[in-house]
Structure 1
Amino acid sequence: MTRPPTAAQRRLIDAADPVTGRLRGTEAQLAALVRRGLAFRHPRAPHDHFLTAEGHRVRQGVPERPEPAAQAHASAGVFAARTGDEPDAPRPGPARHREVHSAWQGLLELRRMTNPDGSVHRPCGWERTHLVQAAALALEAAGHRPAGPEAGGYRVRETPQPEAVAVHEPDGEALRACAATLEGAGWQVSGHREPRTGTRYLLASPCRV
């Protein structure tokens, strides 16, 4: 379990902008939050600081969870959307819902800050370098069910194509709903069939315009 933020750090977190997570404080205070994984410094001027997904969870009062030993090297606050292939997937529930919602809002803010025209409707550079996680976050944030021990649910996987992921969902109606969600999130989507099995799946790529 990571050490909880100090009272002074908690005051900064609580005073962050409720929509964007933008922080105000001294350079030393903000740097300390960055080291804790609770904030990040935007690379473009004026180099403002914003809450990470973990910072949003702290502000919302969601308890931090102990990390598995295999993930001990990961920095605090790392969020992973469910792709449908996780052996130990996080349990659904209010805490997970808040976590996903916070991560999606953070991604929209990252789009606004990094897309040249400030658009939140078009994927940003981070999404193009994290295709599987970005597509999975769009699906999970929209309420689609990832695959798990029970039958059904989506799976997002890499493909040989440089800027495309494959989305599998055994239920045809749910697959069409996944396509609509990704298109609404700024992805270009096309339907395909596996040559041998005839199973339908989607190819999705981030739109550039």
Structure 2
Amino acid sequence: MTRPPTAAQRRVIDAADPVTGRLRGTEAQLAALVRHGLAFRHPRPPHDHFLTPAGHRTRETVPEPAKTADPHTADAGDTGVFAARVGGEEDAGAGGPSRAREVHSAWQGLLELRRMTNPDGGTDRPCGWERTHLVRAAALALEAAGHHPAGPQGTDGYRVRATPQPEAVAVHGPDDATLRDCAATLEKTGWQAGEHTDPRTRARYLLASPRRV
């Protein structure tokens, strides 16, 4: 797309489902987003429209003037969308029923995105969105299963971090039991996970990647 979306198109983009990217708008608005490569129309009924990777990037940029935070996305951070906790955040320990509902809703939305975008409709393995948002996807799988992210000091709970490998994240934990529990959760949700030892620090960690089959 060579020019920014119009104000009306931006409102449609900003209102997309935080995880699945499902869009709601008029036929004209949705068709315009498709033409500009910001959305695609799903080939299977009910033929809903979803953000493309370019559409997700557009939503994550802050327009001028800066947009007002959506009160329905309390844990949105500076992007205005739901974000799974990867560990180390200042509010990593904050929880309660509100956070639990948001995490549950995000996980269900991700399962629906798997169903809609995996070629066979399977929900047992990660989809394309997860492969381009590895850290957030792995963290959501862990948080949705009840694991706790580490606090700012990183002394307890899990921490998910990017790695130099193109399709792998590192999961750190305070002890071997935490790592084993995280590995079991990730494998149940469609990831491959194996324990490794850092050659410099001798610390144990998981290397996890999305399963393809």
Q: Which TM-score applies when normalising by structure 1?
A: 0.69
Deviates more, 1:144-153 or 1:127-136: 144-153
CA contact (8 A) 2:114 2:125 kept: yes
Matches within 5 A, 1:68-107: 71=78, 74-75=79-80, 78-89=81-92, 91-107=94-110
Structure 1, unaligned runs of 5 or more: 1-30, 51-62
CA-CA distance at 1:35 after TM superposition: 5.0
CA contact (8 A) 1:90 1:96 kept: no
Q: Which residue of structure 1 aligns with residue 192 of structure 2? A: 188
- Equivalent residue number for residue 171 of structure 1: 175
* CA-based RMSD: 2.6
5+ residue gaps in structure 2?
1-8, 24-39, 51-70
CA distance in 1, matches of 2:176, 2:92: 24
Aligned-partner SS, 2:135: helix
* 1:137 aligns to 2:145 (yes or no): no
Find the counterpart in structure 2 of residue 43 from structure 1: 41
- 2:103–2:140 Cα contact (<8 Å) kept: yes
- Structure 1 distance, partners of 2:10, 2:106, is 21
Following superposition, the deviation at residue 194 of structure 1 comes to 1.0
**2:206 is the alignment partner of 1:208:** no
Residues 48, 161 of structure 1: CA spacing in aligned structure 2 closer, same or farther, 3 A cutoff?
same
Q: 1:32 to 1:191 in 2, by over 3 A?
A: closer
What's the counterpart of residue 72 of structure 2? 64
State the shift of 1:43 in Å.
3.1
Are residue 153 (structure 1) and residue 148 (structure 2) matched? no
- Structure 1 residue 126: deviation in Å? 0.2
Quote the Cα distance in structure 2 between the aligned partners of 1:139 and 1:128: 16
Q: SS of 1:201's equivalent? A: strand
Distance change in 2, residues 1:93/1:193 (3 Å): same
Identity %, equivalent residues:
66
C-alpha distance 110-90 of structure 1, shift in aligned 2 (>3 A) = farther
Q: 1:66 to 1:164 in 2, by over 3 A?
A: closer
Distance 1:173 1:90, change over 3 A: closer
Query: Residue in 1 aligned with 2:63?
Result: none
Give the length in aligned residue pairs. 162
* Contact 1:152/1:169 (8 A) holds in 2: yes
Asked whether the 8 Å contact 1:108–1:120 carries over to 2, the reply is: yes
Structure 1 letter corresponding to 2:146? G
